[in-house]
Amino acid sequence: MAVTETRIVTNRLREFTEDSWTIDRYLATGGYDMLRQALTMQPVQIQDEQVKASGLRGRGGAGFGTGQKWSFLPKGIYPRYLAVNGDEGEPSTFKDHMLIERDPHQIIEGVVISAFAIEAHIAFIYVRGEFALGIERLEQAVADAYAKGFIGKNILGSGFDLEVVVHRGAGAYIAGDETGLLSSLEGERAMPRIKPPFPAVQGLYAKPTVVNNVETMSTVPHILRMGGEEYAKLGVGRSTGTRIFSVSGHVARPGNYEVELGITFRQLIDELAGGVRGGKQMKFFIPGGASAPWLMPEHLDAPLDMDYVGSELKTMLGSGAIMVFDEDTNPALIAWRLLKFFAHESCGKCTPCREGSMWLEKVLFRISHGLGRPQDLDMMLSFGSTIVPGLNAPFSQTTICAMGPSTMSAVVSLDRFFREEILEMCNAGAARPTIPVTSA
Amino acid sequence: MTDVNDVPKVERPPGVPMSQWPSAYEYVLPTGAPGTVTLTIDGREVKAQTGDLLIKVAQDHGTYIPRFCYHERMKPVGMCRMCLVEVEGMRGMQISCATVVADGMVVHTQSDAARQAQDGVLELLLINHPLDCPVCDRGGECPLQDTTLAFGPGESRFVEEKRHWEKPIPISELVLLDRERCIQCGRCTRFADEIAGDALIAFGSRGAHTEVITFPGDPFTSYFSGNTVQICPVGALTATPYRFRARPWDLSAVETSCTTCSVHCRGALESSSNRLVRLLGVDSEPVNHGWLCDKGRFGYEVVHSEDRVRHPMVRKNGELVECSWPEALDVAAEGLKRALELNGPKSVALLGGARGTNEDAYVWARFAKGVVGTDNVDAQLGDGIPAEVALGLPEATIADLDRAAAIVVVGLDLKEEVPVLYLRVKRAAEELGVPLIELAPRDQGLTRYASTSIRSLPGEQGETARRLADALGGARGTDAGADAAAALLEGRAGDIVVVLGRGDLAESAASTVRAATELARLPQARFIVALRRGNVRGAMDLGLAPGFLPGRVTLDAGREWFGHAWGSVPATVGLDAEGILRAAEQGRIHALMLLGTDPHDDCPDHALAEGALNAAGFTIAIDAFVTDSTKRADVFLPVTMWGEKAGSVTNLEGRVQRVGQKVSPDGTAMPDWRIAAELALRLGVDFDLEQPEEVQDEIARVAPAYTGIDSTLLRRARDGAVAPVADHRDELVLGPVSIPLTDARWEPIRPGLDAVELEDAKTANDEADALRADRLTSVAQSAGAPPAPALHRFTGGVTDTAPPARDAYALRLVTGRTLYDGGITVAASDSLSELVADPVLLISPQDRDRIGVEDGAEVRVTSARGSLTLAVRADAAIGTGTAYLPFNLPGSGVSDLVDLSTAVTDLRVESLS
């Protein structure tokens, strides 16, 4: 049985490729109807009966229950803020990019409904600075929404006020971390903050703050349209609804696919993305963005279920980005390239991540360029366990944010699946008389 | 002198990991109030307070958890990850610097996992560290070295090339940054931002290339930059005055108080080969929290200035020529005797004394008032607040700022005059939420932290204070600004702490006195009188003020008591500095003693000072430098400076603390008090004082406010003693006499005296009682002693005169002190003298446009007294109708414009272009 996409969030942008981002198209396709409906409800109703009931989990990467996150806001402390995370920086992830460019009003509607539900009167949409077209369209959409009264004072006569601010990021990966994003919004250097206090208690400007992903926000209007319980019927187990997966790498049809959670990796990669291109065999794939530990072809029949992937496969669905590599790939080279990214993007705050990523990158450079030493892999695992104590999934961490352990995913995967291959490379490298001293 | 080397070393048992060694901290950290939370650290059950941080609790109980970024006086940031520990029931490793203790918590700081984390983090910290310890100033006292030795893996597996930077780069005139050594702990950047409020350094770049940066064209010119050097856990930040001067193992230290201004921050003064090389801040809870300002930190250079006078001199054939001490003292005594014989004691005057110790002040006061018999004595120069006000207002301590209902700052710019008090007020306002009400003629350092700022033109301060006091007292509705200030106090109990100073030296002191009178009407008002000069408070307290005798008693009240103690006291109240200078100008002062003072440069009215110095009779200079004033002396008696003599000093809150001797002077300079004793001997009175301790004991016996504050108490009181000690007994922390300055100098250095264990706190109070009782008895028992006089209280009643109307073309002059001024400390310190700014007349942008000049243009400034040519600049901090010119900057000449006898100084500013 061939699977198909289940287009909920991406329906409009797939259907009306010419003008899906305009206010006219949005209104013509039932846009802002859910906002009208939401404004007649009690905020707590939206929180409990809709969002919590839908089982919606954050689409940014950590997969935390959205309704639950909202419920952590301490009672009676105002102002509260809603910050929307559109700083999609995870390598190989490109779903938010699409949503911002092609359906900005859907995000805005979700934002207004969510802000109403959590009683926030200012919402910030933090967009990755590189999304030039996305920002242009989002800003236009915000302006249109203001003009039509969907944002601003007394929205649609309900008495609810909301200001929406589009903030353009300055290009740091770490601004995609919840607290890094808040620091950046405050005008500081994007560096994650120690938790507790959690953002729900002391977030932006030390006030209670909810940080949600763009895709999460885009889903909220559909939960109201379908009803929370109805939405929860989609998906599998605690992974309800649909998710957009960005499939890239050596596949025939790379791209974003919105599918019901619970289908298998094989269905997604082979049936929707056309399988490995050029008739080659798959060597391995990365299931959840650059931060996720890798998987092998034997894992392809596992379901796209956040809990299953975490507990059984010791990795994560993360940001929903699947990278496929064919039989000709040198895994050490992939690991080095990923580490080059992490070493460059480490914010510099926590020692293990700052120094560790740099060290890993230098060692992986040598290994992948034929200059490894036999002890290098074990050495990386050894000093790497300062970043991830025990190296067991789920990764624990010695850093403030999850970027620290992310730097070890590739190395742990090399050890788990390609140990022999790496050692072989390293033994060859050991025959070389010298090792280079720089990789830049 | 008790030296650091006398202290028994902490026993370090072999075979026990360094982290388990008994720490010096166990001895010196007070253990706080009884714990309410019980937790287990490495198998030991300990008690702590709810909300305490694990790292601190462990340290207080003898378990040192290694750390780099954590600093007790700053908020935890969790950057270095060195303090990872295992907490049972919590996933992964926890940073103990940000983990709040909880009841039942079980913590392992030395488990396999914890050790592995410590090893690992250190290995990572060192991969990019250059390990250039042999040429690094930190080598030998480096926390990274020490921690690596105690907790590190011993060897590195890093074979790649390390990160490279140009080293070092200057980030200010005083501080250099070596980015290769930096371990990115963020102590310096957090200090600059959180504590100093000068966020001039920050992190730049990412990953392993993260570096501390300054912003383009904006160097790290903070007044507090030296603190970042002290708290840097590696040698990344070095200060030019100490750089390459010494190795830590060659240094010896003495605990002391900085007397650059009147805050008296605790410090550890270090020397090598009889040269002072460094002053480090010592953490004193009631005073400085470990911080120093740069002027205090680096000002020790003045001690070794080439220009110091090393031997006594007398004037022969119009020239000052070196001579022996007996000759100089004889000449001085003869001069005094002649003046006394010919014109009586009223023709003799003493100016100064604010630069010395309490012992200096007391013995000179006894000499002037008890032997010479003159009350023409003043430690101030018409630039302060009269002693009857300063010594008589209800007093607040610095720590009272933290729990005040509100803080009212009247006049002075704390950041420029008393920088570390500025830090305390800033902290109270910013961190502790105490409303800060500022009353000043212009925007200044604290303005950005003020809840409300009330501006007043010079001369109107008293009237503004009246309206504020009315509003604070409940009578609202007359002044919107005052009402807004009063509204801040709603729902807040406690004292109103008034920090009172002279914000404008061109304005008569009467204006400040009137403001004090008005605010003192409030029953909850208590005062910190913030006069800047080093020991001006101690000098006034011990009698160097007209109408006062030592121990804050008036001449009249203390006549009988001191008559008994000293033999005689002056018959009538004498002249203050202004009066002395006027009398001298008119030829009525036949002998003038200049006790470490420079009226020529320091008196706001230059013409008056100049005239007085020229017309004064026989002049004795007791000073360390030949200045514009002392160059006219007939006898020059050279004195030892701070760092060269032991003694005690009293800070602006009345806290008496010790200063230590670290080096001996070049030449034959003597402590000031000794010179007074020698002169007294030549005038026929033997004070019988040989050691500073004997002077301290005499002060404790005879000076009523200092009762009980004798040499024993001063040696044992960790944070000094606030006079009168009877009112501040609870704050006394006593310990045995020893000074174990800890090796770990980058930590908040704790005061040396062993803190009393918690359980011993009661004993300490009992001991304080006993000490006090002892001394009181000894006074009472001395035969025939009259009853002790009551301490002076200021009852108000001083009024100012309304300032004359300002004509529409005139600007009213505001002149205040700047930190780096023309004073000798700055001028004779190589590092600081570079920092003095050029004087510029600051006016409001409106006035600039009205006068029609460009920024930077030369203007002619004319007052009724004189005229100057200066550059002008517009500054929005200056109110319309006023002009600001820093006082005592080389070349500013502002004292040529001021007439001390007028209420305000009005200027005409004319464009010269």
A 5-64 near B (Cβ less than 8 A): none
**Of the candidate ranges A124-128, A356-360, B736-740, the one whose mean pLDDT is the lowest:** B736-740
> What is the spatial distance between Cα B297 and Cα B305, in angstroms, rounded to a whole number?
16
Dist. CA A264–CA A258, nearest whole Å: 13
Task: Kindly state the DSSP code that residue B20 receives in the 8-state scheme.
Answer: G
CA dihedral A109, A115, A118, A124 (to 10 degrees): 130
pLDDT of residue A437: 55
CB contact under 8 A, B113 and A389: yes
Residue B22 has pLDDT above 60, yes or no: no
**pLDDT confidence of A434, banded at 50, 70, 90?**
low
Q: How confident is the model at residue B522 (pLDDT cuts 50, 70, 90)?
A: very high
> Whose structure tokens read 């032991």?
B646
- Give the domains, in start order, of chain B with CATH numbers: 30-127 (3.10.20.740), 313-381+537-734+741-774 (3.40.50.740), 388-530 (3.40.228.10), 811-911 (2.40.40.20)
Interface test with A, best of B85, B121, B162, B213 (most A CBs within 10 A): B121
Interface check A345 vs B, CB under 8 A: yes
**CB-CB neighbors (< 8 A) of A399 in chain B:** 81
Q: Select from B113, B124, B128 the Cβ nearest to the Cβ of A352.
A: B124
Confidence of residue B24 (pLDDT cuts 50, 70, 90): very low
pLDDT tens figures, A250-270? 999 999 999 999 999 999 999
Per-residue confidence band for B756, with pLDDT thresholds at 50, 70 and 90: very low
User: If you measure CA to CA, which chain B residue comes closest to A400?
Assistant: B78
Split at pLDDT 50, 70, 90, the class of B4 is very low
Smallest CA–CA separation between B82 and chain A, in Å?
Answer: 8
**What's the mean pLDDT in B26-54?**
74
CB B281 within 8 A of CB B230: yes
pLDDT at A431 over 90: no
CA A343 to chain B, closest CA, distance in angstroms equals 6
Is residue A190's pLDDT more than 60?
yes
Tokens coding A12 = 């409009």
Residue B768 reports pLDDT greater than 80: no
Q: Judge whether B226 and B819 are in contact, CB under 8 Å.
A: no
Contacts of B115 in chain A (CB under 8 A): none
3-state secondary structure A333-354: HHHHHHHHHHHHHCCCCCHHHH
Percent of chain B with pLDDT over 70: 90
Q: What is the pLDDT of residue B796?
A: 76
Chain A CB contacts of B206 below 8 Å? 172, 344-348
| HEC letters along B165-234 | CCCCEECCCCEEECCCCCCCCCHHHHHHHHHCCCCCEEEECCHHHCEEEEECCECCCCCCHHHHHHHCCC
In this prediction, what percent of chain A has a pLDDT beyond 70? Answer: 97
3-state secondary structure at position A363: helix
pLDDT confidence of residue B755: 35
pLDDT in tens, B264-281: 999 999 999 999 999 999
Compute the average pLDDT of residues B68-76. 93
Question: Is the pLDDT reported for residue B32 higher than 80?
Answer: no
Report CB contact under 8 Å: B206, A344: yes
Measured CA to CA in angstroms, residue A417 lies from A269, A281, A298, A410 at distances of: 20, 16, 11, 10
Query: Which amino acid is located at A286 in the chain?
Result: I
Using CA atoms, how far residue B271 sits from B417, B646, B696, in Å, is 27, 15, 26
Is residue B470 predicted with pLDDT exceeding 50?
yes
If pLDDT is split at 50, 70 and 90, which confidence band does B28 have? very low
Q: B208: which chain A residues are within 8 Å (Cβ-Cβ)?
A: 343, 346, 348, 354-355, 357-358
DSSP code at position B56: H
Q: What is the pLDDT of residue B726?
A: 80
Cβ(A237)–Cβ(A308) below 8 Å: yes
CA distances from A288 to A91, A265, A321, A346, B56 (A): 10, 11, 5, 19, 40
Flag whether residue A432 sits within 8 Å of chain B, measured between CB atoms: no
Nearest-angstrom CA–CA distance, B419 and B439? 18
| Chain B residues near residue A345 by CB distance under 8 angstroms | 206-207
User: pLDDT confidence of B766, banded at 50, 70, 90?
Assistant: low
Q: How many CA atoms lie within 13 A of B882 on its CB side?
A: 25
Tally Cβ neighbours within 10 Å of residue B761.
Answer: 17
CB contact under 8 A, B206 and A194: no
Kindly determine whether residue A352 and residue B184, on different chains, have CB atoms separated by under 8 Å. no
Please report residues of B whose CB lies closer than 8 A to that of A172.
Answer: 206
Say whether pLDDT at B26 is over 70.
no
Q: Which strand (E) or helix (H) includes residue B679?
A: helix B672-682
pLDDT band at B340 (very low <50, low <70, confident <90, very high): very high
- Residue whose C-alpha is closest to residue B199's, from B217, B220, B184: B220
According to DSSP, the residues that pair with B268 across neighbouring strands are B255, B280
* pLDDT band with cut points at 50, 70 and 90 for residue B731: confident
Residue A393 forms contact with B (CB below 8 Å): no
Helical pair B672-682 and B358-365, crossing angle rounded to 10 deg: 20
pLDDT of residue B733: 75
pLDDT of B558 above 50:
yes
Question: 10 Å Cβ neighbour count for A405?
Answer: 26
ipTM: 0.93
Mean pLDDT of A109-128: 97
How far apart CA A100 and CA A109 sit, in angstroms, is: 13
Which pTM was predicted? 0.92
Q: What is the pLDDT of residue A438?
A: 56
Q: What mean pLDDT, rounded, does chain B reach?
A: 89
